[in-house]
Structure 1
Amino acid sequence: MSDAHLPSVDRELRRQLARGAALPGPLPLPDHEQLWTALGDAVEGGKRLRPALLLSAHAALGGTRHEAAVQVGAALELLHTAFVVQDDVIDGDEVRRGVPSVPGGAAAQAARHGATPAGARRLGQAAGILAGDLGLITAMRTISRCEAPAPVVEGLLDLFETTLHATAAGELADVRLQLAPAADPAPLREVLAVAELKTALYSFQLPLRAGALLAEAPSEVHSALDEIGSLLGIGFQLVDDLLGTFGDAQRTGKSALGDLREGKRTALIAHASTTETWPALQSLLGRADLDDHDASRARDLLTACGSRAWVEDLAHWHLTSASEAALRHGLPAALSDALEATTAQILRGVELTLPGPAHPSAGTAPPRAKEDQPA
């Protein structure tokens, strides 16, 4: 995908962050400054996947509103950062991209100033929620002020708002799945539905549709991009689930113990629950005291029962199907190439961070677990 305009997105991000930090004016508000500093730190280090998708879609579809595309790309990155920060609160993650997360950093700072562990944790959670709120507000304001005609801005605001609602519902559904009895894991169809709401909508469908809106593309293009975004997003989430259990923490910047300790209901677990290894695996999941030895045992069970290979295959199918859909719908070659590059980037992340053999059957039809069907 073209990244020629990504430096402009970074400049717009810095401009919006500086504006937000200055809003109280001369009033001495150190806590406000702390929130904006934390939000600014959280924005750094991302791959800018979502702005790049938007810019690629806009350019490939003949769009000429480059300044507006950069502004909306910055809004996308702010939206993503806000979701990530609040997700770290929800999941209790203290590390993100190899450095302290917003809640983790705020809690550590409070502890250094004498707060009790419970007090430090509470302050860290508050910082994460509030920094995320500021990011969401700034993202929506950036869209509302972007340099596009009023009808296009209204369409963008509607798109962002409906996406935010669906993503919030998907995040809550993800937490709800974790509360189900261990003996009753969620079926695959529900896991994939959550992946579409929580990840596909805002990370892939939203950038592609926003680019199409800015380019004023016809409705059939929007429908095609929805299909492609859904496939890409579910594939991306499946890869993320694999990395959350099998990934090299030194490369992913995220602990490979978190999902297992949380007993997270991923596609790996949905598949494993249909196999004979489930009783042994079930006893290891959702344990806050899970150590490296037992985590390694859980990974061995997930590999031995075929769940790892099954989810890898399902991820590959979704990702390659997205590229095939772009060709089937006759999208411009530049956009098909950008989507192909996105797919390759996601799969390259698997190759670089997952130990063990490469996936043996990329592009084949997705396997099935009992009566579950892929999305």
Structure 2
Amino acid sequence: MRGTRMLQGDTSAVRGDPAPWDEAIDRMLEAGRARAAANDAQHARLWDALAAATRGGKRFRPVLVMAAHDAFGGDQQQAAAAVGAAVELMHTAFVIHDDLIDGDDVRRGRPNVSGTFRASALGDGASVDQADSLARTAGILAGDLALAASVRAVATCGASEAVTHELLDLFDAALHTTAAGELADVRLSMGTHAATLEESLAMAEQKTSAYSFALPLRAGAVLAGAEGGAVERLGRVGRSLGIAFQLFDDLIGVFGDPRRTGKSATSDLRTVKQTPLLTHARSTGEWTRIRTYLGRELTQDELGEVRALLTTSGSREFVDALAAGHQTAARSEIEQLGVSMAALEVVLRRPPALAGSDEVAA
């Protein structure tokens, strides 16, 4: 079992049943692997790695779809599960590509798609350059396959033609926005100019809010037939939740314990991501020392030193407070809309996933 339902009144978690969106993901991946295996065993390996990439995490995106759907009296449970699966598959695609862009071989404490194929190639006697090429190719293709499966899941979800078209428009808009955010992330990491806090927050909104929060909330409401004003309000909720989530994730990306989060604590520093954490730090007296730790691999001692500087500079506290403010705004709006607070608690609470905590990666 990979995930369990989190909605009020649902007893599947007690019974140990898989959540409906997990079942939908399994069906999509099993169908894809069967088509691949009929023609090419190596292609089937790619689907195996893709299936592994979908496992783990909080699975909150399908929960958001179902919570919004149920809040507006929807009766399209099967379609909502399929759309929830589609959002999760889109997330998987972005994660695979993001790891490839960042040069990371580990996700959630285990080798990701690229890491799996790199290790396999090296084990077969390939050179480092050859292994890198295969790893890069596998990451690109697996992400593409996940994205195609996501769109297919929406197109075949069983909703009416008009609703399906509206859902596809939402997914298309989220894809464009997220792509723009990823491009901005890499462009800003070049360091050709110092990002402002506004630019850094806009990047966070584009990379995270659009597809992880605004999309599932709006999609669930559209499936339930909610009126346009409510759908737009959920988009604003998603924006606030997404910014808060990304800000906390930025903190986890530096202060988190990789053994418990499955996320590198040095990648953001090595790639010099212009997150709000570093953007704020640039305005402090500690910046001259902080910058000497950026753009290179760090030892554990060096990581401890830069963590201390980011704390004494006030940057960690600043980002923490900023995230909490966005969470508070989202909570207020959610209460007014009548969306289940219990179902959303996983994204409404402050994550404990900082150094020494037990939080897992999303």
TM over 0.5: yes
1:117 aligns with 2:122: no
Show the 5 A alignment for 1:108-257.
Answer: 108-181=119-192, 184-257=193-266
Deviation of 1:23 after TM superposition, in Å, equals: 2.1
Question: What is the identity, as a one-letter code, of the residue corresponding to 2:330?
Answer: A
Q: Does 1:335 align with 2:340?
A: yes
Q: Distance in 1 between matches of 2:346 and 2:144?
A: 32
Shift in alpha-carbon separation, 1:211–1:231, aligned structure 2, 3 A: same
1:25 to 1:108, Cα distance in 2 relative to 1, 3 A: closer
Code of the aligned partner of 1:302: L
1:10 correspondence with 2:52 = no
For residues 26 and 251 of structure 1, do their structure 2 counterparts lie closer, same or farther at Cα, with a shift above 3 Å needed?
closer
Mapping of 1:24-63 within 5 angstroms? 24=36, 26-27=38-39, 29-63=40-74
SS at match of 1:263: coil
Q: In 1, Cα distance between the equivalents of 2:292 and 2:207?
A: 28
Residues 271-294 of structure 1: CA deviation (Å, up to 9, x unaligned) = 00001111111121112x322222
TM-score by length of 1: 0.89
Q: 8 Å contact 1:246–1:355 — kept in the other structure? A: no
The Cα shift of 1:340 comes to 4.6
In the alignment, structure 2 segments of 5+ residues that lack a partner are 1-5, 13-17, 358-362
**C-alpha distance in 2 between matches for 1:165 and 1:39:** 22
SS in 2 for 1:148: coil
CA distance in 1, matches of 2:344, 2:33: 35
CA distance in 1, matches of 2:324, 2:129: 42
Aligned residue identity for 2:171: F
Query: Separation in 2 of the partners of 1:25 and 1:109?
Result: 19
> Aligned partners of 1:321, 1:340: CA distance in 2, in Å?
14
Give the CA deviation at 1:338.
3.4
Q: Distance in 2 between matches of 1:62 and 1:25?
A: 42
Residue-by-residue CA offset, 1:251-276 (whole Å, 9 max, x unaligned): 10112111111111111100000011
Corresponding residue to 1:306 among 295, 303, 314: 314
After TM superposition, give the deviation of residue 339 of structure 1 in Å. Answer: 3.6
Report if aligned partners of 2:83, 2:157 keep a CA contact under 8 Å in 1: yes
Secondary structure of the residue that 1:353 maps to in structure 2?
A: coil
Q: CA deviation at 1:297?
A: 1.3
Whether 1:104 aligns to 2:115 is yes
Q: What is the identity, as a one-letter code, of the residue corresponding to 1:129?
A: I
Deviations 1:165-189 (A, max 9, x none): 11111111100010024xx431110
Work out the percentage of aligned pairs sharing the same amino acid. Answer: 47
Cα gap change, 1:24/1:121 in structure 2, threshold over 3 Å: closer, same or farther? closer
Alignment counterpart, residue 82 of structure 1, candidates 93, 115, 121: 93
Q: Which amino acid aligns with 1:154?
A: H
Task: Give the letter aligned to residue 322 of structure 1.
Answer: A
Matched residue SS, 1:44:
coil
The TM-score normalised by the length of structure 2 is 0.92
Partner deviation per Cα, 1:286-310 (whole Å, 9 max, x = no partner): 12x3222222211111011100111
Instruction: Give the distance between the partners of 2:286 and 2:200, measured in 1 at CA.
Output: 20
Q: How far apart, in 2, do the equivalents of 1:31 and 1:38 lie?
A: 11
Q: Partner residue of 1:362?
A: none
SS in 2 for 1:23: helix
2-structure distance, mates of 1:98, 1:310: 28
Rounded to whole Å, the distance in 2 between the matches of 1:335 and 1:140 is 27
CA distance in 2, matches of 1:298, 1:102: 30
| Structure 1 unaligned regions, length at least 5 | 357-375
Q: Aligned partner of 1:202: which letter?
A: Y
- Quick check: 1:20–1:36 contact (8 Å CA) kept in 2? yes
C-alpha distance in structure 2 between counterparts of 1:154 and 1:300, whole Å? 50
CA contact under 8 A between 2:240 and 2:330: conserved in structure 1? yes
Q: State how many pairs are aligned.
A: 345
| Secondary structure in structure 1 of the residue aligned to 2:225 | coil
Q: Tell me the distance in 2 between the aligned counterparts of 1:38 and 1:84.
A: 13
Q: Distance in 1 between matches of 2:36 and 2:284?
A: 57
Please tell me whether the aligned partners of residues 323 and 339 of structure 1 are also in contact (alpha carbons under 8 angstroms).
no
Assess, with a 3 A threshold, how the Cα gap between structure 1 residues 336 and 223 changes in structure 2: closer, same or farther.
farther
> Which deviations, in whole Å up to 9, do the C-alpha atoms of 1:49-104 show, x marking residues without a partner?
10011011101110000110011111111111111111110011111000001111
